[in-house]
């Protein structure tokens, strides 16, 4: 995948200063406490702890088989944990069947009832709690307006397009006003353009309702666009939790750096570390300067992680003394319209990627195949990873 | 794509159909025979149908058969559906494979053995043979057919539908009644019709488990034919064929209606 400018979630008015996770006095809406779940001999979720706060849009991100869907199903009550506890507003959910939990799920397949009309689908959950008929009718109407499907009330699901079905599923899951809405890969079945539109509608909807949304996705871009915070998962464990910007700019490991966005990883040995700066001896014999203390002893194996859009590419060696600079040869140039991607073979054999945004309409590029170039970046651009 | 049938296919189809339906066609035609002799054509007539309506014993047997078929098919449908739900939705419970095997074994069990086993059971527990023993026997034989039909339907639909129903607050029984049952009822109806027709035309098991006052139609026909074929038998058989055919066509139409609606919907979404 080619790196594009990472969209940072637009902070809507009421959510601008929203950060309950940073408040030590705040108590979480959902708390996973050392939760483990095994299927036969396979561990799907391994002693995992996680707090999700009321009003958050939280994303569980990871490749398929990492346990993110199992985690969601544990919360919905479709699976029971082998170890640990799941708390909702401080109360243990153990033994509470899915039909009593104040959470609702939007399924990947949407799971609309094919024999019921759109309005009966949305009313289904309300009928189960024996809400009076006039109230149900009012709530259904409200939900149809919320997802902009007025006029579709009497249609059967097989007469709807994919996008409309997705909205019905969303309306049905929101109709009971759940404490938390669980979304399992909600946009997997939509095409790219519709997905982008739906993502922004979902953000707006969540900000408007204030309901806690927990979404499962394998698409890092989707997680970054939607979430207030996200958890990156790997083989049943959470490897990092944070805001999209934290995860992107300060990944905790090579796995996270590589999974979320594109990254150049340069292997080296830590030579010195101080309060504000560290030096890494790269494999190519070049000293790299990083504006960050590193929690490792000198001589340790480390990786310098550098996003392609933070690399400068030029024909001349930069004159600024603090600037890190590596020489190499261009082996590939990709033109993407908004960006150009340069693949550069360094003199030590490693491959690095640099992206440049195309600011002018000039078609002729000054740097091309087989050109000798200098890649450079300031000490503040890269991060040192020890894992 | 296919363009009609080749002449080879046409001949094979004609041969197969002739082999299947020629005897039945002859039986139906001869039921309208004016002649008393079964093998001689004497012109069209409804005489044997009139005679049939006057034959109290034959009508009595027909009534017994219909009652046995209705009661046993109803019981088999309920039990077979429950078994199918347990198999398709029970997950990996202990002894699942054994249960499946036990449920499906009667499909291939020789009827003579089933009949004899049931007879021995009824004798052992001292149950007087008659209407209820035939009904119980037919229930146990046709149950597995219902289970097969219903289970195959259950396996084709999205498991998350039930989870969605539960997630929205419906306990398991309610989600079954509100979501699963409406979706599988064509299969249940088809299973019922299958059980009904199997019970209606069963001779072997009925003769093992019958008793005084409970002579089903196939038993009556069989015993009369041994004394010589009367054209009246052709008439009753024709009526049975009509009844069974109506049931089968009803089941097919019922399933086709749903299938074509679905195909239409797929067509529609493809256009959008």
**One domain for residues A298 and A375:** yes
Taking the Cβ of residue A189 and every Cβ of chain B, the question of whether any pair is shorter than 8 Å is answered with no
pLDDT for the residue A16:
63
Asked if residue A66 is part of any domain, the answer here is yes
Taking the Cβ of residue B165 and every Cβ of chain A, the question of whether any pair is shorter than 8 Å is answered with yes
Residues of chain A in contact with residue B272, where contact means CB-CB under 8 angstroms, are: 161
Query: Nearest CA of chain A to the CA of B272: how many Å?
Result: 7
Residues of chain A in contact with residue B164, where contact means CB-CB under 8 angstroms, are: 105, 107, 111-113, 172
Token digits of residue A227: 């979430």
Residue B253: Cβ within 10 Å count: 9
**One domain for residues A247 and A339:** no
Asked if residue A316 is part of any domain, the answer here is yes
Asked if residue A236 is part of any domain, the answer here is yes
Interface touch B183/A109, C-beta < 8 Å: no
Query: Nearest CA of chain B to the CA of A195: how many Å?
Result: 17
Interface touch A128/B168, C-beta < 8 Å: yes
pLDDT for the residue A124:
92
**One domain for residues A270 and A202:** no
**One domain for residues A268 and A248:** no
Task: List the single residue in B163, B169, B269 with the smallest CB-CB distance to A129.
Answer: B169
**One domain for residues A276 and A232:** no
Helix/strand/coil for A354: strand
**One domain for residues A364 and A312:** yes
Fold (topology level) of B15-271 = MetI-like fold (1.10.3720)
Taking the Cβ of residue B91 and every Cβ of chain A, the question of whether any pair is shorter than 8 Å is answered with no
What would the pLDDT profile of B96-129 be if each residue is shown by its tens digit?
778 788 878 878 888 899 899 999 999 999 888 8
Cα A180 to Cα A103: distance, rounded to the nearest angstrom: 5
- Residue B266, pLDDT > 60, answer no
The total number of structural domains that make up chain A: 2
- Nearest CA-CA partner of B205 in B270, B120, B101, B271: B120
**One domain for residues A250 and A269:** no
Token pair 């006095």 is at which residue? A25
- Nearest CA-CA partner of A98 in A125, A121, A120, A62: A125
Residues of chain A in contact with residue B158, where contact means CB-CB under 8 angstroms, are: 109, 111
Interface touch A111/B168, C-beta < 8 Å: no
- Residue B229, pLDDT > 80, answer no
Residues of chain A in contact with residue B92, where contact means CB-CB under 8 angstroms, are: none
The domain in which residue A198 lies consists of: 20-102+178-256
- What residue in B sits closest to A104 (Cα-Cα)? B167
- Residue B73, pLDDT > 90, answer yes
- Nearest CA-CA partner of A320 in A381, A371, A278: A381
Secondary structure (DSSP) of A208-243: HH--EEEEEES-HHHHHHH-SEEEEEETTEEEEEE-
**One domain for residues A281 and A341:** yes
Interface touch B265/A159, C-beta < 8 Å: yes
Taking the Cβ of residue A214 and every Cβ of chain B, the question of whether any pair is shorter than 8 Å is answered with no
Task: List the single residue in A103, A111, A176 with the smallest CB-CB distance to B164.
Answer: A111
State the pLDDT confidence band at B148, using cuts at 50, 70 and 90: confident
Asked if residue A134 is part of any domain, the answer here is no
What would the pLDDT profile of B164-218 be if each residue is shown by its tens digit?
999 998 898 898 889 888 888 888 888 888 888 888 888 888 988 888 878 888 8
**One domain for residues A314 and A375:** yes
Task: List the single residue in A97, A104, A158 with the smallest CB-CB distance to B168.
Answer: A104
Secondary structure (DSSP) of B188-233: HHHHHHHHHHHHHT--HHHHHH--TT---HHHHHHHHHTT---HHH
Any alpha helices (H) in chain A, and if so which ranges? 68-76, 118-128, 133-146, 162-174, 192-209, 220-226, 244-249, 254-259
User: Can you name the residues that pair with A86 across neighbouring β-strands?
Assistant: A32
Task: List the single residue in A100, A111, A128 with the smallest CB-CB distance to B163.
Answer: A111
Q: For residue A74, what is the domain's CATH number?
A: 3.40.50.300
Between positions 102 and 121 of B, the ones with CB within 8 A of A are none
- What residue in A sits closest to B272 (Cα-Cα)? A161
Interface touch B168/A125, C-beta < 8 Å: yes
DSSP state of A309: G
Least reliable range by pLDDT among A58-62, A248-252, B51-55, B265-269: B265-269
CB A235 within 8 A of CB A70: no
Asked if residue A5 is part of any domain, the answer here is no
Interface touch A107/B163, C-beta < 8 Å: yes
- Residue B262, pLDDT > 70, answer no
Asked if residue A218 is part of any domain, the answer here is yes
State the pLDDT confidence band at B52, using cuts at 50, 70 and 90: confident
Please provide the average confidence, as pLDDT, over all residues in chain B: 82
pLDDT for the residue A268:
81
Task: Tell me which of A233, A256, A279 is where a domain ends.
Answer: A256
Instruction: Determine the residue among A111, A127, A170, A190 to mutate to test chain B binding: the one whose Cβ has the most chain B Cβ atoms within 10 Å.
Output: A111
Interface touch B183/A104, C-beta < 8 Å: no
Task: List the single residue in B158, B171, B262 with the smallest CB-CB distance to A111.
Answer: B158
State the pLDDT confidence band at B139, using cuts at 50, 70 and 90: very high
Residues of chain B in contact with residue A115, where contact means CB-CB under 8 angstroms, are: 182-183
Cα B62 to Cα B80: distance, rounded to the nearest angstrom: 26
- What residue in A sits closest to B159 (Cα-Cα)? A111
Task: Tell me which of A235, A256, A277 is where a domain ends.
Answer: A256
What would the pLDDT profile of B10-50 be if each residue is shown by its tens digit?
888 888 888 888 888 888 888 888 877 767 777 888 888 88
Between positions 100 and 129 of A, the ones with CB within 8 A of B are 100, 103-105, 107-109, 111-115, 124-125, 128-129
Q: Model pTM?
A: 0.76
Taking the Cβ of residue A40 and every Cβ of chain B, the question of whether any pair is shorter than 8 Å is answered with no
Task: Tell me which of A256, A277, A304 is where a domain ends.
Answer: A256
Cα B114 → chain centroid: 18
What would the pLDDT profile of A87-114 be if each residue is shown by its tens digit?
988 888 888 899 999 999 999 889 999 8
**One domain for residues A187 and A57:** yes
Interface touch A111/B161, C-beta < 8 Å: yes
Burial class (CB in 10 A: 0-12, 13-18, 19+), A370: exposed
Phi, psi dihedral angles at B220 (to 5 degrees): -60, -50
Interface touch A99/B168, C-beta < 8 Å: yes
- What residue in A sits closest to B261 (Cα-Cα)? A158
Asked if residue A233 is part of any domain, the answer here is yes
Task: List the single residue in A76, A109, A162 with the smallest CB-CB distance to B167.
Answer: A76
Asked if residue A158 is part of any domain, the answer here is no
pLDDT for the residue B1:
45
**One domain for residues A268 and A336:** yes
Chunked mean pLDDT (size 10), chain A, 387 residues: 43 64 82 88 86 90 88 90 89 88 91 90 90 90 89 88 89 91 88 86 87 91 89 89 88 87 84 77 77 78 86 81 82 83 85 82 70 84 83
Q: For residue A381, what is the domain's CATH number?
A: 2.40.50.140
Residues of chain A in contact with residue B160, where contact means CB-CB under 8 angstroms, are: 107-109, 111
CB A300 within 8 A of CB A270: yes
**One domain for residues A297 and A360:** yes
């Amino acid at each position: 995948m080619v790196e594009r400018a990472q969209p940072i979630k637009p902070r809507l008015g009421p959510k601008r200063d929203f950060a309950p996770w940073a408040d030590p006095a705040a108590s979480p809406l959902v708390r996973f406490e050392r939760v483990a779940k095994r299927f036969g001999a396979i561990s799907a979720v391994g002693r995992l702890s996680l707090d999700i706060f009321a009003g958050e849009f939280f994303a569980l991100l990871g490749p398929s088989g990492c346990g993110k869907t199992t985690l969601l199903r544990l919360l919905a009550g479709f699976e029971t944990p082998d170890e640990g506890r799941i708390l909702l507003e401080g109360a243990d959910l153990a033994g509470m069947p899915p039909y009593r939990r104040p959470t609702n799920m939007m399924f990947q397949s949407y799971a609309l009832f094919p024999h019921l009309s759109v309005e009966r689908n949305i009313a289904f959950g309300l009928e189960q709690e024996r809400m009076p008929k006039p109230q149900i009718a009012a709530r259904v109407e409200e939900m149809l307006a919320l997802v902009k499907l007025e006029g579709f009330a009497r249609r059967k699901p097989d007469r709807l397009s994919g996008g409309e079905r997705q909205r019905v599923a969303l309306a049905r899951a929101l109709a009971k006003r759940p404490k938390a809405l669980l979304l399992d890969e909600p946009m997997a079945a939509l095409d790219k353009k519709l997905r982008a539109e739906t993502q922004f509608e979902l953000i707006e909807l969540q900000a408007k309702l204030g309901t806690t949304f927990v979404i499962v996705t394998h698409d890092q871009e989707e997680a970054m666009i939607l979430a207030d915070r996200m958890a990156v998962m790997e083989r049943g464990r959470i490897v990092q939790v944070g805001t999209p910007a934290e995860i992107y700019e300060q990944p905790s490991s090579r796995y996270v750096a590589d999974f979320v966005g594109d990254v150049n990883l340069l292997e080296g040995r830590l030579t010195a570390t101080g309060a504000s700066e560290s030096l890494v001896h790269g494999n190519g014999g070049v000293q790299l300067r990083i504006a960050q203390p590193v929690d490792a002893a000198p001589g340790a194996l480390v990786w310098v992680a550098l996003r392609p859009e933070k690399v400068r590419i030029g024909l001349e060696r930069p004159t600024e003394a603090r600037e890190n600079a590596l020489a190499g040869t261009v082996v590939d140039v990709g033109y993407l319209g908004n960006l150009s991607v340069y693949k550069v073979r360094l003199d030590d054999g490693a491959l690095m990627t640099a992206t440049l945004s195309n600011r002018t309409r000039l078609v002729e590029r000054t740097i091309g195949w087989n050109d000798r170039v200098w890649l450079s970046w300031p000490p503040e651009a890269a991060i040192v990873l020890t894992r | 794509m296919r363009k009609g049938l080749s002449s080879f296919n046409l001949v094979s189809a004609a041969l197969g159909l002739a082999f299947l339906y020629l005897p039945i066609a002859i039986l139906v035609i001869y039921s309208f025979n004016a002649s008393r002799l079964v093998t001689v054509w004497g012109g069209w007539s409804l005489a044997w149908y009139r005679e049939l309506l006057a034959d109290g014993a034959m009508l009595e047997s027909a009534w017994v058969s219909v009652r046995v078929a209705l009661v046993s098919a109803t019981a088999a449908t309920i039990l077979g559906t429950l078994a199918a739900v347990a198999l398709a939705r029970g997950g990996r419970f202990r002894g699942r494979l054994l249960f499946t095997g036990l449920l499906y074994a009667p499909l291939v069990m020789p009827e003579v053995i089933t009949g004899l086993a049931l007879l021995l059971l009824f004798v052992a527990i001292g149950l007087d043979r008659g209407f209820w023993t035939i009904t119980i026997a037919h229930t146990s034989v046709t149950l597995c057919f219902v289970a097969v039909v219903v289970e195959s339907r259950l396996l084709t639909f999205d498991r998350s539908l039930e989870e969605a129903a539960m997630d929205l607050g419906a306990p398991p029984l309610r989600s079954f009644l509100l979501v699963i049952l409406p979706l599988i009822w064509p299969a249940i109806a088809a299973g019922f019709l299958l059980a009904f027709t199997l019970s209606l035309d069963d001779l072997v098991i009925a003769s093992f488990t019958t008793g005084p006052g409970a002579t089903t139609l196939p038993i009556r026909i069989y015993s009369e034919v041994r004394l010589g074929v009367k054209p009246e038998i052709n008439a009753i058989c024709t009526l049975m064929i009509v009844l069974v055919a109506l049931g089968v066509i009803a089941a097919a139409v019922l399933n086709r209606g749903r299938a074509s609606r679905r195909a239409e919907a797929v067509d529609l979404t493809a256009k959008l």
